[in-house]
Amino acid sequence: MHGTEMMVAVLIPLSFFAMVFGIVYLYKKENLAMIEKGMNPKDKMYRPAPFRSLKWGLLLLGAGFGLLIAFFVDMNLPYRIEPVGIYFALIAMGGGLGLIGSYFVEKKHWYDKTNGE
């Protein structure tokens, strides 16, 4: 083995174990901080997330519309190029617009909830 191959053979497993150690360490530290504040760490897993379905639905709907628009743009191009960039860009833009829409729906709901009481 050459020097770079040896470094790769050592650094990849070392990096993997360091990442796992870091994740476990931060998870335990978070739990200890919650216990110090008088919270139950097991309750955080069961918190309700009322807008999770809305967020995923709007994200996938936006990505689908982006894919559909990219398909129509691809079919109507006068010259043949590789439209991979168009597909990725419009999927990302459609998904982003879906997430922005979800944000505004959630914001309106929480604004009406706090001001309506």
Annotated domain spans of the chain: 3-43, 48-115
Higher pLDDT, 8 or 81: 8
Output the CA torsion sign for 37, 42, 43, 49.
Answer: positive
| DSSP states along 77-111 | -SS---THHHHHHHHHHHHHHHHHHHHHHHHHHHH
In angstroms, rounded to a whole number, what is the distance separating the alpha carbons of residues 13 and 19? 10
Q: What's the CA gap between 89 and 97, in Å, rounded? A: 12
How far apart, in whole angstroms, are the C-alpha atoms of residue 101 and residue 54?
10
Residue 18 has a pLDDT of 96
Percent of the chain with pLDDT over 70: 92
Cβ neighbors of 89 (< 8 A, separation 6 or more) are 70
Is a pLDDT exceeding 60 seen at residue 115? yes
